[in-house]
Structure 1
Amino acid sequence: MRPRWVIAVVAAPALALVPVPSAAAPAPAPVTPEIETVPLSSARGLTRAADVRELRSENPFALAAARWSGAAPDVLDVRAQATDGTWGDWVTLEAVDGRGGVRASEPVWLGDSTALRVRAERGGAPVDAAELSIVLIDPGDGGTVATRAAAADVAQPPVINRAAWGADETIRTNCFAQQGIGVEYSPTVKAATIHHTAGTNDYTAADSARIVRGIYAYHAQDLGWCDIGYNVLVDKYGQIFEGRFGGLDKPVWGAHAGGFNKFTVGMSMLGTFTDVAPTPEQLESVSRFLAWKLARGYRDPNGTVTLVSGGGGTARYPEGTEVELPTIYGHRDVGYTECPGELGYQQLPAVRQRVTELMAGWDTSPVYQRWQAAGADAGALGGVYELERSAANGGLRTTFASGAGSVYWSEGTGARIIGGAIRDTWAAYGSEAGHLGYPRTDELATPDNVGRYNHFAGAGGSIYWTPSTGAHEIRGSIKTAWGQLGWERGPLKYPTTDERGTPDGRGRYNHFQNGSIYWTSGTGAQAIYGAIKSKWAQLGWERGPLGYPKTSEQQTPDGRGRYNHFEGGSIYWTSATGAHEIRGAIKTKWAQLGWERSFLGYPTSDEFAISGGRRSNFEHGYITWNAATGVTTARSY
């Protein structure tokens, strides 16, 4: 077993959603590539001046790269000896910016090989062998690839996911843990960078997964990127491979074009296209993926974008430089590289034309039109974060604002904006497929300017939010009763819970900042708050002797007090007496005497036990009930 050479890795975004496992073939087990770094000083020279050096390995390898100290070599070529003894063509290794100052090349696919010849020059002279190391990569066997179906939209072409090509996710996760980083996302994707991987074009369809796996291991470990740099890779057979982890439908921040990784998706064609053109199958798959990505991300394939260079050793433009680029451009447009090869670069106009054909009608989407009306990228929604996709019952949805906001559309509700905590609460209830259905308003400010809300099509429901209460749903009869009291400007203020079921299973309720509304099919929805609610709680809520409220809190006829009637009695309150319950025969007697306008006035105690019966005290007397005779007697003090 050759030693593994693992180093730190760079932040990488994530890929997930798009590819789904095929029912026909389970995903293969992960395969961990092996990497060996060999100092060039251990190689032996083959020609005069040692301008060509040869390395031999005890174990076959299939990809190779180089690392060096000092300035990058002016000439850096390799050729490999296949396992059958034949030597391949010379292949150029192109420099790339590694993490933490790593000076290295991109890896190239050579096919299964046992020896490597290296030609490295700087300033017309061979590079000092002590300054150069060769990285040999064995991607391992296995990883039989089965094409995966698109997850959500028929416009998305089939993609081979990471599990299918045998990605060992521990390479990525261990690197993230070591560096204290994780998946990174741009706010949106504005453009696509087209690459080639370089290396031989002589590979089989089964080799493609091995190539991807080898590039992943090298990018993640030797270059310190924690993951493969490209978002997507396409082989000459038209197979599309999921690259960087984080979600093909999201703006995963790759490591494919130094200085121009933000706001771009990187697509790399497997092979070298300096003297050989990409295959028709390869170009069609590139076009189909870009058509899906750009159409659902609201980008014109024939437009231009302005990107700001992040700088770096391989970037063509210094940090901070604004560069206008086509929406679909080649790596050489932003970097010191021949990538994607002269014949690959020449195909970009045809790719743009084919993408345009495939995207016909993309700008008729009602969500796209709503986004445009809201100011597009310059508006409050910002750019597309998660691509437009189908939603429940024939609807559409797109996520914006780095994931914070969304637009949902249905035939009955139109395109509506929802985001933040309100969207999170809505999602907890199943989003548009749940009982609230689609939003029928945008997120709006409440009249008191304290909160925010969306109304929904289902269950007569809404979600209200304030910084202090959070976001809570309210619906049906409880919402109607709250509205009759004046909404958030009424006595209850904002909801502090979603609608919930009561412990006894008979009712429903929402709590509010200043009270509650309780509902049953027999009592309807009634508001209870303040001291009366506190008394009811002391008595055991709906499971106490009073049961559920039958009225909302009301003012007494004499204007001095407040009350709620309940299934099993009442609670009366005044500022002088406090809140007290009254029920049964004692309440009936008090009612016969004229309630609070009788000579007794308001109750000053709850009903309590006495010898032989029960008693309630009032402001000016008391009522007793005899258990033996059933007689109630009212007396004044």
Structure 2
Amino acid sequence: MRPRFITAAVIALPLGLVPVVSSAEPPPGTPAAVKPVIDTVPLAAARGVAESGKVRELEPDRTFAMAAVRWTGNAPDVLEVQAQDSEGEWGEWVELETVDGLDTGKPGSRKASEPAWVGDSTALRVRAERDGSPVNAKSFSVVLIDPGTSSNDTIATKAGVTTEQPTVISRASWGADESIRTQCFADQGIGVEYSPTVKAVTIHHTAGENDYTAADSARIVRGIYAYHAQSLQWCDIGYNVLVDKYGQLFEGRYGGLDLPVWGAHAGGFNKYTTGISMLGTYTDVAPSAEQVEAVSRFAAWKLSRGYRDPAGNVTLVSGGGGTAKYPQGTEVTLPTIYGHRDVGYTECPGELGYQQLPTIRQRVAELMGDWTSSPIYQRWQSDGADSGPLGGVYQLEQAAADGGLRTTFDSGAASVYWSDGTGAHVIQGPIRDTWDRYGSETGHLGYPKTDEHATPDGAGRYNHFAKAGGSIYWTAETGAHEIRGAIRSKWAQLGWERSVLRYPKTDEHGTPDGVGRYNHFQYGSVYWTPSTGAHAIYGAIKSKWAQLGWERSFLGYPTSDEFAISGGRRSNFQHGYITWNASTGATTAYSY
């Protein structure tokens, strides 16, 4: 498991849509992805300017809109940049915050700052000092990023948020070039990674200027993506969600908004957390009301559907790292919604951003309402919550068919489905896989009406379902198979898995002639037609019937189970019968 480091997150999807799982395929009509351009320039190549050589100035060959700094050795005490616009005017100095670098899989081998939005610029000044003196420029480089432009950059500032799940702007809509991510994954031999669950929300700011427009926001997100994925080698945006000052939410790290995607936003505390980052710097400027509301709405959706108390505390274990406040292995108790500075050596999310945390917690609690009334939450609590057999929420609670609910737990291995008629029941593993193959709760079996249980003989597992008189039975030898209706009733009449048939080894299927239905079992079969009903056939008599051509033979379908006769056994069929001689083992077919 590779280390994760960074401090921001984004969520997104096509405008007006609220999908929860990312897709590499853009929706119809989405503009082409935009590949940002990154230039890395040694600071030693810059010329010194005023202030006794403490400031160095770069005039690159092309314009840029974001800037960051990389270095080796100790971090500078002062690290600021100032950009010049196309009119030749110099902007304000922007302080850069430090993050952990990751080059060629080695955490901390190079140090780095966060990227700062400076607007479209033609030149950059850098002030970097240690102990009041300029740093050795040979150990520093400047990263200049042009995030490009897209016809989709002018995004509606009101995205139709709801109190449940806010609309987010997808990666496809903000122009993510997925080849950047996939190539990095291929180079590092990794992929999308997931925590077992999400326990807390980390609030960040991205740094940089605050005077961006709504159309700039997608460009800022693309620039952060390029820097985090390529320069820092995180392969993707570190944050799970980004929020601009207009209240727009952008999808950040790939992998699904409703899943516990393991980000790279808070060094040492990425596991079990979701990172929400506000675009801008909130040291001397407060986040906008729209921004705070959007942060709150996303956090409320994530926490309510993940069964986490926004006013509570959680205990997390530090994974360590250069910017983490706590050594690896340290247990730290934190609010469910906390600021990045609570766990890292950083000012993030800025003093005025940090002061908004009580307001965000209160608003999140208001939006969540009576979230503990969920019947699946109550079932989870009764089973021991995180310390019970289900563990934490993996995929958030969401609506299921016909007014039902579903939540996935245990790193995706188990789910609880609820409906008003069945209650809340656990379904998992191969049984759930078979059920999913037939359409889950929308299929012919409907909702589970029992948890998964062990069979009386101890060899198998099963769930019963609400429709079609159905069940799914599993053993290590046979796998998981559905059985229902008249065939299941016949099997039950014979003694279930303790019968001569033992366990089903196929699902129910239609016969080749299109008239009947059957399940094969470990030691026999049950065949059914509307005119004959369901009957068991096994052993030597079944072998003889199969040899003759099954239901297409002159005998047709079974009309009785096998029964004892003098000296042997017999099964009746539509047009005859088969006998078995106990003395000789011979089977004989007769027609009427």
**TM-score, scaled relative to structure 2:** 0.94
> 1:145, 1:165 within 8 Å by CA — same for their partners in 2?
no
> 1:66, 1:135 within 8 Å by CA — same for their partners in 2?
yes
1:228 aligns with 2:237: yes
User: What residue is the counterpart of 1:135 in the other structure?
Assistant: 143
User: What residue is the counterpart of 1:628 in the other structure?
Assistant: none
The one-letter code matched in structure 1 to 2:548 is: L
1:334 aligns with 2:334: no
Q: 1:221 aligns to what SS in structure 2?
A: helix
Higher mean displacement: 512-521 or 274-283: 512-521
> 2:11, 2:168 within 8 Å by CA — same for their partners in 1?
no
Q: 1:583 aligns to what SS in structure 2?
A: strand
Q: CA deviation at 1:58?
A: 1.8
Q: CA deviation at 1:153?
A: 8.4
CA RMSD of aligned residues (A): 2.2
Q: Aligned pair in 2 of structure 1 residues 17, 406: CA closer, same or farther (>3 Å)? A: farther
> 2:471, 2:483 within 8 Å by CA — same for their partners in 1?
yes
- 1:137-175: per-residue Cα shift (whole Å, max 9, x none)? 000011335469999986101111101100000100111
- 1:299-329: per-residue Cα shift (whole Å, max 9, x none)? 0000000000000000000000000000000
The one-letter code matched in structure 2 to 1:369 is: Q
CA distance in 1, matches of 2:386, 2:95: 40
CA distance in 2, matches of 1:192, 1:139: 28
**TM-score, scaled relative to structure 1:** 0.87
* Pairing 1:573-592 to 2, within 5 Å after superposition: 573-584=580-591
User: What residue is the counterpart of 1:626 in the other structure?
Assistant: none
1:538 aligns with 2:547: yes
* Pairing 1:460-609 to 2, within 5 Å after superposition: 460-556=469-565, 558=566, 560-584=567-591
User: What residue is the counterpart of 1:615 in the other structure?
Assistant: none
CA distance in 2, matches of 1:529, 1:334: 67
> 1:528, 1:564 within 8 Å by CA — same for their partners in 2?
yes
CA distance in 2, matches of 1:124, 1:301: 43
Q: 1:241 aligns to what SS in structure 2?
A: strand
> 2:5, 2:267 within 8 Å by CA — same for their partners in 1?
no
Q: CA deviation at 1:124?
A: 2.6
Higher mean displacement: 151-160 or 452-461: 151-160
User: What residue is the counterpart of 1:37 in the other structure?
Assistant: 40
Name which one, 1 or 2, has greater alpha-carbon Rg.
1
The one-letter code matched in structure 2 to 1:63 is: M
The answer for unaligned runs of 5 or more in structure 2 is 18-26
User: What residue is the counterpart of 2:292 in the other structure?
Assistant: 283
- 1:467-489: per-residue Cα shift (whole Å, max 9, x none)? 11111100000000000010011
The one-letter code matched in structure 2 to 1:467 is: A
Q: CA deviation at 1:27?
A: 2.1
Q: CA deviation at 1:575?
A: 3.4
Which residue, 206, 226, 237 being the options, matches 1:197? 206
Which residue, 104, 109, 114 being the options, matches 1:106? 114
CA distance in 1, matches of 2:341, 2:74: 20
> 1:148, 1:160 within 8 Å by CA — same for their partners in 2?
no
* Pairing 1:134-173 to 2, within 5 Å after superposition: 134-142=142-150, 143-144=152-153, 146=155, 155-173=164-182
Q: 1:290 aligns to what SS in structure 2?
A: helix
Q: CA deviation at 1:18?
A: 7.8
Q: CA deviation at 1:16?
A: 12
1:27 aligns with 2:36: no
Q: 2:60 aligns to what SS in structure 1?
A: strand
Q: Aligned pair in 2 of structure 1 residues 296, 18: CA closer, same or farther (>3 Å)? A: farther
Q: 2:122 aligns to what SS in structure 1?
A: strand
Q: 1:233 aligns to what SS in structure 2?
A: strand
Which of structures 1 and 2 has the larger relative contact order (alpha carbons within 8 angstroms, sep 6+)?
A: 2
> 2:13, 2:173 within 8 Å by CA — same for their partners in 1?
no
User: What residue is the counterpart of 1:594 in the other structure?
Assistant: none
The one-letter code matched in structure 1 to 2:114 is: E
CA distance in 2, matches of 1:131, 1:516: 76
User: What residue is the counterpart of 2:89 in the other structure?
Assistant: 86
CA distance in 2, matches of 1:147, 1:508: 55
- 1:443-480: per-residue Cα shift (whole Å, max 9, x none)? 11111111111110011101111111111100000000
The one-letter code matched in structure 1 to 2:236 is: D
Q: Aligned pair in 2 of structure 1 residues 448, 151: CA closer, same or farther (>3 Å)? A: farther
- 1:331-370: per-residue Cα shift (whole Å, max 9, x none)? 0000000000000000100100010111111110111111
Q: CA deviation at 1:528?
A: 0.9
- 1:70-127: per-residue Cα shift (whole Å, max 9, x none)? 1121211111011221111111111111222232111111110110000111233211
1:382 aligns with 2:391: yes
CA distance in 2, matches of 1:148, 1:26: 20
The one-letter code matched in structure 2 to 1:34 is: V
Q: CA deviation at 1:17?
A: 11
> 2:314, 2:334 within 8 Å by CA — same for their partners in 1?
yes
> 1:10, 1:226 within 8 Å by CA — same for their partners in 2?
no
* Pairing 1:13-24 to 2, within 5 Å after superposition: 19=13, 22=16
Q: Aligned pair in 2 of structure 1 residues 164, 376: CA closer, same or farther (>3 Å)? A: same
The answer for unaligned runs of 5 or more in structure 1 is 1-7, 589-637
CA distance in 1, matches of 2:125, 2:251: 32
User: What residue is the counterpart of 1:126 in the other structure?
Assistant: 134
Which residue, 175, 193, 197 being the options, matches 1:188? 197
CA distance in 1, matches of 2:384, 2:287: 39
Q: CA deviation at 1:25?
A: 8.6
CA distance in 1, matches of 2:230, 2:370: 43
Between the two proteins, what is the percent identity of the paired residues? 69
1:60 aligns with 2:63: yes
Q: 1:318 aligns to what SS in structure 2?
A: coil
Q: Aligned pair in 2 of structure 1 residues 78, 178: CA closer, same or farther (>3 Å)? A: same
Q: CA deviation at 1:529?
A: 1.1
> 1:11, 1:181 within 8 Å by CA — same for their partners in 2?
no
User: What residue is the counterpart of 1:623 in the other structure?
Assistant: none
